[in-house]
């Protein structure tokens, strides 16, 4: 075998070696907790995991996305210990355990220059179903409303359909963006746009609209006056092992809940 | 000793053959995979209901992608309206007028344009084109016209380089003959050179269309992704590629299969375009 053969063979050998899976025994006996599911819950879980791992050096928490449905499926298949869901379980999934970690308000947002600060739930329904299509109908300028929604299958869209649309379909002419961030970006740049995003992501670039006279805030969600709220859930298959349950305990502790609160979510201790 | 050398030669040859065929294998595997995932839904729901269905709501059992097929064609034609005149003019300048120095500057610049990632085009579109359209033409700015403008620029390298090849391959004797008849340079270009290179130029347009119809990232960012067939150039629209990329993250079950069905239709369209383009190029070579 000359050098030239090795040039050809080496990549092959390397490719073969890389096919064998990663080995599980890490030095120092670390406990790995795998979590997967809703991309709405994922950033908050990641934040919690970071803080948790600072104090618990022997834990490695692996947080993945995939969406609520995929996360729940992974729990059923026992491929992950914890699933994240931003929607209540469906009938077929009822046998799983759920742990509510916090609540998230869905907020209807407009451009900061938009003078409309309050809408009825029914008006919002009519805007997104295409029945109200001009800002003049709501007492502003004669200009088409640029409604922005989320894509089919998104947890935020699912919650919005359940809590706001009440059976009415979102109009086909509505623009669609594939993340809370993109919806916010469109609303922040287009003065005539209206969209809906997680309350945790509202900042100065967009303005939340009061619904039926109630402005979205942690207080109004806690008191139950602001109605467009969804739970963020952890889903488990049966009782948790002691290792993953230590993370869940942390999330439900004062400290964990304070982290969620700082992110704009509504926890249990307020 | 000779045997070993011969053996070595054979070994190298067959290794290379295997690698060469692997690209064909990948194409074949992709083909099989997309068909295996995409066809079941066609059988279950019906070809008509998918291809000519007007409503896309996969979680509620509607899988119609007709509006997206139309939208894909609209942005493609729009991109061609923007990119074809620009690209062809550039190719004519490069092959007929440009001196060595201009060519040395322009050719690498065009190659660089081809290398810019599409997300950068999308970002520039969102930051500059969309607000311009919104402020001066109306609508939300996320529209057919914004998408066409950006795609038009993105397909320029394809159109320029293939048209250029077609134009320079016109034999010198044609130009000399035309000049000998007393034709001016421009008369030579539009009466002799362009007609001779016609099939190559058409092929460049069709390959440009293929590039535009397959473009995803920039389109998602600029098109607005509404499900209705646009009724004006200022309306948002959703293309086939955009549909797949937008919804793949959360899709499960039939929804996921629906996206693969979208992929099957897209693959067929691109195969037809490529077939036409290759046919055009082959005719040029035969001449």
| CA max distance for chain B | 80
Taking an 8 Å Cβ-Cβ cutoff, which residues of chain A contact chain B?
Answer: 8, 39, 65-70, 73, 144, 146, 151-155, 169, 172-178, 185-186, 189-190, 192-193
Pair A102, A94: CB distance under 8 Å: no
Give the residues across from A66 on adjacent strands.
A37
**What kind of architecture, by CATH, is found in domain B56-286?**
Orthogonal Bundle (1.10)
The complex scores an ipTM of 0.83
Position A69 pLDDT exceeds 50? yes
CB contact, 8 Å: B140 with chain A? Answer: yes
pLDDT at position A239 is 82
Interface test mutation site (partner B, options A9, A152, A157, max chain B beta carbons within 10 A): A152
Nearest to A175 among B131, B226, B249 (CB): B226
Instruction: Indicate the burial class of A31 (C-beta count within 10 angstroms; 0-12, 13-18, 19 or more).
Output: middle
Q: List CB contacts (< 8 A) between B232 and chain A.
A: none
Looking at per-residue pLDDT, the higher value among B52 and A268 belongs to B52
Q: How many angstroms separate the CA atoms of A117 and B142, rounded?
A: 25
Read off the pLDDT band of B284 (50, 70, 90): low
| Tokens standing for residue A142 | 């004669």
pLDDT at position A21 is 41
Note the pLDDT tens digit of each residue in A125-147. Answer: 999 999 999 999 999 999 999 99
Average pLDDT over residues A10-30: 49
Average pLDDT, chain B: 91
* A152/B15 CB distance under 8 A: no
| Tokens standing for residue B217 | 């990232």
Rounded to 10 degrees, the C-alpha dihedral B16/B17/B18/B24 comes to: 120
Note the pLDDT tens digit of each residue in B89-144. Answer: 999 999 999 989 999 999 999 999 999 999 999 999 999 999 999 999 988 999 99
Nearest to A67 among B225, B228, B250 (CB): B250
**How far is C-alpha B37 from the chain's CA centre?**
24
CA of B271 vs chain A CAs: smallest distance (Å): 28
Position A99 pLDDT exceeds 80? yes
Residue of A nearest to B254 (CA): A153
Q: Where are the alpha helices (DSSP H) in chain B?
A: 2-45, 47-51, 66-92, 100-115, 118-124, 130-136, 144-154, 156-168, 172-180, 185-188, 194-196, 198-214, 217-223, 240-247, 253-286
Domain positions in chain B are 56-286
- The pTM of this model reads 0.82
| Tokens standing for residue A199 | 């309350």
Residue of B nearest to A153 (CA): B250
Listed residue (A210, A270, A264) closest to A44, CA to CA:
A264
* B236/A192 CB distance under 8 A: no
Read off the pLDDT band of B285 (50, 70, 90): low
Share of chain B above pLDDT 70, in %: 97
Which residues lie below 8 Å from residue A232, measured CB to CB, with a gap of 6+? Answer: A38, A40, A41, A44, A84, A85, A86, A100, A101, A102, A103, A104, A265
Residue of A nearest to B235 (CA): A173
């Amino acid at each position: 075998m000359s050098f030239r053969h090795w040039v050809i063979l080496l990549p092959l050998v390397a490719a073969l070696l890389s096919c064998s899976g990663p080995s599980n025994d890490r030095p120092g006996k670390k406990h790995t907790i795998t979590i997967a599911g809703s991309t709405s819950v994922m950033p908050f879980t990641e934040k919690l995991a970071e803080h948790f791992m600072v104090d618990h050096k022997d834990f490695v928490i692996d947080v993945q996305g995939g969406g609520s449905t995929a996360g729940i499926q992974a729990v059923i298949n026992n491929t992950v210990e914890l699933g994240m869901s931003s929607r209540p379980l469906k009938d077929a999934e009822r046998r799983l355990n759920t742990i509510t970690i916090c609540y998230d308000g869905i907020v209807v947002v407009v451009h900061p220059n938009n003078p409309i600060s309050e809408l009825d739930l029914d008006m919002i329904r009519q805007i997104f179903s295409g029945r109200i299509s001009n800002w003049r109908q709501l007492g502003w300028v004669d200009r088409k409303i640029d409604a922005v929604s989320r894509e089919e299958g998104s947890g935020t869209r699912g919650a919005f359909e359940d809590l706001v649309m009440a059976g009415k379909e979102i109009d086909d002419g509505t623009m669609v963006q594939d993340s809370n961030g993109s919806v916010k970006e469109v609303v922040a740049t287009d003065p005539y746009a209206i969209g809906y995003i997680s309350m945790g992501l509202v900042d100065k670039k967009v303005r939340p609209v009061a619904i039926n006279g109630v402005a979205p805030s942690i207080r109004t969600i806690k008191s139950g006056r602001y109605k467009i709220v969804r739970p963020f859930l952890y889903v488990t298959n049966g009782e948790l092992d002691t290792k993953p349950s230590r993370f869940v305990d942390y999330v439900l502790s004062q400290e964990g809940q304070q982290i969620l609160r700082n992110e704009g979510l509504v926890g249990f201790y307020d | 000793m000779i045997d070993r050398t011969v053996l070595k030669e054979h070994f190298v040859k067959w290794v290379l053959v295997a690698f060469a065929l692997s690209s064909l294998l990948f194409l074949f595997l992709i083909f099989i995979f997309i068909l295996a995932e995409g066809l079941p839904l066609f059988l279950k729901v019906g070809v008509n209901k998918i291809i000519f269905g007007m409503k896309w709501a996969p979680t509620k059992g509607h899988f119609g992608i007709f509006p997206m097929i139309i939208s894909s064609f609209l942005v493609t034609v729009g991109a061609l309206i923007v990119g074809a005149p620009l690209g062809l003019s550039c190719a004519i300048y490069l092959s007929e007028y440009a001196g060595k120095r201009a060519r040395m500057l322009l050719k690498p610049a065009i190659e660089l344009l081809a290398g810019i990632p599409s997300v950068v085009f999308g970002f520039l579109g969102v930051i500059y084109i969309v607000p311009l359209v919104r402020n001066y033409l109306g609508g939300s700015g996320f529209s057919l016209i914004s998408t066409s403008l950006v795609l038009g620029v993105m397909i320029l390298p394809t159109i320029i380089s293939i048209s250029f090849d077609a134009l320079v391959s016109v034999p010198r004797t044609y130009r000399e003959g035309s000049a000998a008849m007393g034709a001016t340079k421009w008369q030579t270009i539009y009466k002799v050179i362009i007609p001779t290179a016609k099939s190559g130029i058409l092929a460049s347009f069709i390959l440009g269309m293929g590039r535009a119809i397959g473009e995803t990232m920039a389109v998602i960012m600029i098109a607005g992704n509404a499900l209705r067939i646009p009724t004006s150039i200022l309306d948002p629209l959703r293309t086939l590629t955009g549909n797949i990329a937008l919804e793949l993250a959360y899709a499960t079950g039939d929804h996921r299969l629906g996206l693969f069905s979208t992929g099957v239709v897209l693959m067929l369209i691109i195969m037809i375009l490529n077939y036409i383009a290759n046919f055009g190029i082959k005719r040029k070579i035969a001449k």
